[in-house]
Amino acid sequence: MRTNKRKLELAMAKACMNTADLQKATKMPRPTVNNVVSGKNIRPGTMGRIAKALGVDVTEIIEDID
């Protein structure tokens, strides 16, 4: 599962968060958050925690599946 970087950045902007804020809100290690932000493959649970911290549905920040 990968994040859509553009959609993630928009969600972060709407939540007035930067990467450091997101890391604090999720209580995840910084390298994990960096993997999310850079669009690397991550676990579904990690994606869920990111979405929850941003106040969005997971489908709003994942890469479109065709």
| Domain span at 17 | 5-59
Q: Is residue 65 part of a domain?
A: no
Q: Is residue 64 part of a domain?
A: no
Q: What is the pLDDT of residues 13-65, one digit of tens each?
A: 999 999 999 999 999 999 999 999 999 999 999 999 999 999 999 999 999 87
CATH of the domain at 20: 1.10.260.40
Q: Is residue 48 part of a domain?
A: yes
CA distances from 27 to 31, 46, 63, 64 (A): 12, 11, 23, 26
Calpha distance 66→53 (Å, rounded): 26
pTM greater than 0.85 (yes/no):
yes
Calpha distance 66→54 (Å, rounded): 25
Place of tokens 């911290």: 53
